[in-house]
Amino acid sequence: MSGRARAAGLGLVLGIAVAGCAVPAPAAPRDVTPAGTPVALEGTLVVLAAASLTDVVTDLAARLESAHPGLTVETAFGASSTLAAQVLTGAPADVLLTASRETMTVATDAVGGEPVVVARNRLQLAVPAGNPGGVTSLADLADPTLTIALCAPEVPCGALGAQVLARAGVSAAPDSLERDVRGVLTRLRLDEADAGLVYRTDVAAAAGQVEGIALPADVDVPTDHPAVVLPDAPHPEAAAAYLALLRGPTGRTVLAEAGFDLP
Amino acid sequence: MSVRGRGASPGGVLLVALASVGTAVLVLPLVALLLATPWSALPTLVGDPTVLQALRLSLLTAGTATLVALALGVPLAWVLAHDDLRGAWLLRSLVTVPLVLPPVVGGVALLLLLGRRGLVGGALDTWFGVTVPFTSVAVVLAQLFVSLPFLVLSVEGALRGASRRRALAAQTLGASPAYVLRRVTLPSVAPGVAAGAALCFTRALGEFGATVTFAGSFPGTTRTMPLAVSQAMDSAPEQAVAMSVLLLLLSVAVLVALRGRWLGGLPGAHAVRSGRTPR
């Protein structure tokens, strides 16, 4: 490989890495204060969210912060099962958003709380831009010559993926089982894997780097994204405001733009 | 334990108190781990096929990484130990960087080098159809990247501590540099090499960040013990605890074996290390 081609290759990889870091600019905080919030909110609100909700949760956090200058919103993302385990071990969090009812139940069974479904999502067969592996259907996930990245079966996207694959009668041959759905997305963005199963919203978030192939209707299984204000929340008012923002018109618009179905 | 010297001066008391806190910081987490261990169920938990699979992969990859580190690291240490080498400081700095670098950064760097679109990985894929990520080779490379400096610096220290007199004597008797290294210098630094290899092995065994970033995580191919522990922590915490205890015992066993070698097997080791010629 010539020096120039090598430099171009590195530039491509670094470009992808930089593009991956771009955070959507928050819009003007005109309509963000949820009706009925009496006082300015202060302190540090901690939101734990499933990896698939990264962009939406970050966007809404910025909007809430601009509406309440005294408030800082800290966000942490990961596999829902990891987050549920963190809540169980007493992580000081205010809001929990998961990618499945099952993982939410693990948390609320232990600590309580009344979860509400804020969005629904679907999986898509995803490939890097240009589809280098020539992937056309779920059956290609069984091809041992292709590099396949899936979610680990312990996390919601992996459990959902297993359901989809079972319905399609495909026994996949994955090369890596990632800790959360964004791990799979990263493999596809960097062109290290030929195909994977990620949420439709992840494909939208990585538009230009990743292409999605919709699943046949008979194997497609939607999943719910529930949210809850944790009973031990150190900042219950700010947590309620965050959830109200998420369920209100602003949140619904942001969710819909990201490709989520609304309940 | 008692501190000899000036008796119970306020400064001495403070030092002992701080030392006790320091000890607690290191020991208490492990005490908690041992207390949480379901000892009666341990054989069943550790005998689980997925655990044995991860253990086998870990021992295999960390062992391979250590052997490769020995083959590459001993010569590297030998080069570094020569004072007359120009630019040795630069070489030593380069070797030390991975030691202080967060392993996950090493994983990103390896991906940019050997990934399918990486500096070298792109050519490997185009010309030979070889891709490194998601293979056990990638695991070994990640482990090698983080553990090789431990071996190099240990061996270099041993080489510097070893007497050069015997090496010079052998040289004046007509031995080639390679022969001197193999028959005179290396035997006298064997304890240092063993210590370096043990450090290297345990570091490779514990590697997580670079492995998960560069090699991915798949049972039997790339999911080593640390990755399996982390994954199990969410779904089967008891199994995660059992695997953690297993890793702890393994690491302690390496330490004990090493001490045995130091204290029992090679009585001259201390003399050599302190710069005196034995006998």
How high is the pLDDT of residue B262?
A: 53
Chain A contact set for B133 (CB, 8 A): 192
Domain for residue B253, yes or no?
Answer: yes
Domain for residue B37, yes or no?
Answer: no
- CB distance B216–A13 less than 8 Å? no
Comparing A19 with A248, the larger pLDDT belongs to A248
Domain for residue B216, yes or no?
Answer: yes
- CB distance A177–B230 less than 8 Å? no
Interface membership of A173 toward B (CB under 8 Å): no
Question: What are the C-alpha distances in Å from B120 to residues A5, A94, B126, B139?
Answer: 11, 46, 10, 17
How high is the pLDDT of residue B278?
A: 42
Count structural domains, chain B. 1
The two three-digit tokens of residue A7, written as one number: 């430099």
Residues 42-71 of chain A with CB under 8 A from chain B are none
- CB distance A12–B230 less than 8 Å? no
A interface test, pick of B105, B234, B241 with most A CB neighbours within 10 Å: B234
In the predicted structure, residue A147 carries a pLDDT above the cut 90: yes
- Go through the domains of chain A in sequence order and give each one's CATH number: 34-120+224-258 (3.40.190.10), 123-213 (3.40.190.10)
Interface membership of B88 toward A (CB under 8 Å): no
- CB distance A12–B116 less than 8 Å? no
Domain for residue B223, yes or no?
Answer: yes
Dist. CA A49–CA B48, nearest whole Å: 32
How high is the pLDDT of residue B260?
A: 63
Domain for residue B174, yes or no?
Answer: yes
Interface membership of A175 toward B (CB under 8 Å): yes
The answer to whether ipTM exceeds 0.85 is no
Domain for residue B278, yes or no?
Answer: no
In the predicted structure, residue A27 carries a pLDDT above the cut 50: no
Q: How many CB pairs under 8 A join A and B?
A: 72
How high is the pLDDT of residue B116?
A: 87
The list of chain B residues with pLDDT below 50 reads 1, 3, 263-279
Give residue B71's domain range: 42-273
Domain for residue B135, yes or no?
Answer: yes
User: Where does residue A226 rank: exposed (0-12), middle (13-18), buried (19+ CB within 10 A)?
Assistant: buried
Yes or no: say if A246 and A60 are a contact pair by the CB < 8 Å rule.
yes
Dist. CA A108–CA B230, nearest whole Å: 23
Give the minimum alpha-carbon distance from B177 to chain A in angstroms, rounded to a whole number.
Answer: 38
Three-state DSSP at A121 gives strand
Question: What are the C-alpha distances in Å from A47 to residues A214, A238, B135, B178?
Answer: 31, 10, 36, 62
Chain B contact set for A155 (CB, 8 A): 234
Nearest to B122 among A1, A175, A193 (CB): A1
Can you tell me the mean pLDDT for A47-69? 93
Domain for residue B244, yes or no?
Answer: yes
| Chain segment B90-126, per-residue pLDDT in tens | 999 999 999 999 999 999 999 999 998 899 998 998 8
With a CB cutoff of 8 Å and minimum separation 6, the contacts of B202 are: B251, B254, B255
Q: What is the CATH number of the domain that holds B196?
A: 1.10.3720.10
In the predicted structure, residue A60 carries a pLDDT above the cut 90: yes
What is the reported pTM? 0.78
Chain A contact set for B230 (CB, 8 A): 179
Computed over every residue of chain A, the mean pLDDT equals 86
Chain B contact set for A193 (CB, 8 A): 134
Chain A contact set for B118 (CB, 8 A): 9-10, 13
